Chain A
């Protein structure tokens, strides 16, 4: 609105957000420490070396485990302190294969973020719009159809959806006689060409994984948005806005949807959680070498340090989305801006 920009300067928003940030840092610390302890207790790195041909001598295994700092003969508090000491200095240790966790982390971070961000942004925006639209058309055919479709989608396991999408893509490619839709990996191996060729290649590869992440977001957000929008549609202030002589469109978008977005900010932060879990499957199924795939592989290898690194990533993304939701909430709702 007219004075929105000024509102930022005069309201105590920064203090409020700083406080939230402090709280999140505390949560992050607790969550990461707990996941280290849990991973150390549950995983047995020694097993990774068992059953090799020829067998690896115990002393050499011990030596290797000591180097990485995951030897179960060292008391857990010692291992934890050593890991923690490195971690606060930004060093997440070594993988069980002896490579740097940080390097692996950096490599995979971009892959996961690309998938999660495009999927989330697309899914959120589409979900909000679809939800608002169905609320306005409550009980009409379009509303019922969307409702049914989203319930069907929400009761489909992620991997099943991914497989269906793949099958659909194969069918599409076969009928059109092209290989337009790519669904393995993030890019075509050995591709040469200019900048635009690469971008196009990436986009084509991104399509299906993004869809499988976004569709769930659309399905669930549209449900929530429909509810909040319905609450707002019956409100007195929409009637006031109409009584002023505003056009229906202005009433619905400027007064209706704008207010109905406020409660959604809470759902946005929680929704990210589910998306992250879903992305783990998506990556594995579509052969993206991201965090989720790393995680599944690390558990198989009993790789404590890598597992903790992925947990750290998950916790940070969830908290970041929570923080963004806080900012969004404060930006949307003047009552929050002033009450705090």
Chain B
């Protein structure tokens, strides 16, 4: 029998630039094929080419056969009949993938009605059923919500519901979990498995995340520069890679289970934060706003960093990690709690003292493209903190080439603009800018999360080297726990704006005591198909999204999602609901901490 979907000699050009070169793939009924590669490897273009969804400037050659029917060069009418009914698609960014002005339910129902001759009401009923199937609570009510009212995870579930609407034979999932937190990623992958089981569809899973692929795919194809460089069963590719590129890629992936010798804390205290709080008003109205509620973004964060030490702040999005950083960088008196930088307490410092502090604390942002002014030459960007500190032209002219060399860039490129550099180089520019005024504490907000794994490894190595050479202290925010394991000496876990566990990195990762930390760690997929499949059965799946930070919670704020609650007795549960667990120094803010190995 011929394969369900067969791609042979597929070429895609974008305005003359080749993106995909001679790609061949086969997808059998009911199997999951993982298509893995770094950005620009042509994996998404391959998936889009199957359904003829590439933009107008793309030229597609070769053959895509679905059950023997040729799709390349098929008329739009023929493709329209196949799209959504026999082959459906799950896209990456679920916010931009839904039309903002229509209700989620209507958009799912529209997919039903595009291929089935049913009434509006019937289509809508079917939509509600589908939303129920993908685990959206109160589906009838939520079907009436608009896309912007859904969380990222919920939108992705709705997207999957839409893909399931017409019992497709093939589901193309293009980076379905990329923008999501690990905990939500685990849920969505679970839903994808359900969808596949319910419809019996084969799935082409496109991802850059080797862990996701290892956990989900039966067979794997590795793409690099538009070509498939290696393919085989998941176990073969991951454990016995043949091609040098695959080997490199696997070696570059930071692993959550890789122990590292962290450096013992040395030197004096650089940063001390106690009980930091920050709230934002929830406003209503346009011309005259009034306050209708409060977001408790940060609600009791403690941090300690010594010289030469890297502290990682981890947690789901919305847990207040970034707000904590920005509060720190305002260098003003915090709304609640205390911040001490280099022994100086923030609030009530003179302008000169603040300016001096500014030099000692610098920041590196997440998205290197967004954090560099696109209209400024790199030399000016790197020099900006120096200028602000009042350095003269001679110093600037001397320092800029020095700094660029220090981060591994060519000083002759100082006149170029950010867009002329690759992602990793841009992040190096960001680091050079931060280093220009010789800071002592570097605040890093997700510094490598926008980068490909091989580039990530280079930047992490640079950060490690700079720390050792310059004796820097790092405050490092990341949602990627594998990266944290790679660079941090100590970890602090925050949940809903509050520190729930802190300690040396190996201690926390190997012997997590807080159930939230355990859930986070257990959700991180390992790039190892054998171990990953074993872990899947033991995975701690947290229910639902993180609760709203607009509410104040009595007692332990994690108890609503806590997997321990079911095992506790009546009295113990009551204690969790009444008493706020406190954290003193290292350890876990839990009334019933117990070590559980999850990595």
Contact = CB atoms under 8 A, between A and B. Distances in A.
Within 8 Å by CB, do A and B touch in the complex?
yes
B180 to A, nearest CB: 16
Interface stretch (B77-85, B302-310, B434-442, B531-539): B77-85
Interface stretch (B92-100, B205-213, B221-229, B470-478): B92-100
Nearest to B51: A243
Given A2-B106, A240-B97, A262-B101, A340 B146 contact: no
Nearest to A335: B148
A332 B99 CA distance: 12
B110 interface: yes
B29 interface: no
A334 interface: yes
A241 B99 contact: yes
A242 B53 contact: yes
Interface string A208-241: 0000000000000000000000000011110111
Nearest to B98: A237
Centre residue among B51, B80, B288 by max chain A CB count within 10 A = B80
A160 interface: no
Given A3-B103, A16-B286, A244 B162 contact: yes
A179 interface: no
Contacts of B286: 16, 19-20, 340
B76 interface: yes
B120 A242 contact: no
Interface string B274-288: 000000000011111
Using C-beta atoms within 8 Å of the partner chain, give the interface range for chain A: 20 to 34
Nearest to A247: B80
Centre residue among A234, A245, A259 by max chain B CB count within 10 A = A245
B553 interface: no
B55 interface: yes
A1 B83 CA distance: 23
A246 to B, nearest CB: 5
Contact of A245 (B91, B97, B111, B124): B111
B83 A245 contact: yes
B88 interface: yes
Contacts of A235: 96
Interface residues of B, number: 41
B146 A334 contact: yes
B283 to A, nearest CB: 10
B84 to A, nearest CB: 3
B110 A246 contact: yes
A333 interface: yes
**Majority DSSP secondary structure for residues of A touching B:** helix
A335 B149 CA distance: 9
Contacts of B146: 334-335, 338
A46 interface: no
B97 A334 contact: no
Contact of B91 (A240, A248, A333): A240
B284 A340 contact: yes
A239 B97 CA distance: 8
A19 B159 CA distance: 37
Contact of B100 (A19, A22, A237, A241): A237
A236 B76 CA distance: 19
A340 B285 CA distance: 5
Contacts of A195: none
Contact of B88 (A3, A20, A23, A243): A243
B455 interface: no
A258 interface: yes
B102 interface: yes
Interface string B52-74: 01010000000000000000000
A29 to B, nearest CB: 16
Contacts of A244: 83-84, 88, 110-111, 114, 162
B89 interface: yes
Contacts of A247: 80
A236 B287 contact: no
Interface string A122-156: 00000000000000000000000000000000000
B191 to A, nearest CB: 18
B83 A338 contact: no
A245 B84 contact: yes
A238 to B, nearest CB: 8
B96 A236 contact: yes
Contacts of A234: 55
B93 to A, nearest CB: 6
Interface in A233-278: 234-237, 239-248, 255, 258-259, 262
Contacts of B166: 245
Interface of A: 1-3, 16, 19-20, 22-23, 234-237, 239-248, 255, 258-259, 262, 332-335, 338, 340
13 contacts: A1-B103, A3-B106, A16-B286, A19-B288, A236-B91, A240-B98, A240-B162, A243-B88, A245-B83, A245-B166, A246-B114, A248-B76, A258-B101
Given A2-B106, A246-B84, 13 more contacts: A2-B103, A2-B124, A3-B144, A16-B285, A240-B89, A240-B97, A240-B98, A240-B162, A244-B84, A244-B88, A245-B111, A245-B115, A334-B146
Top 6 A-B pairs, shortest CB-CB distance: A245-B84, A245-B83, A236-B96, A244-B84, A244-B111, A243-B89
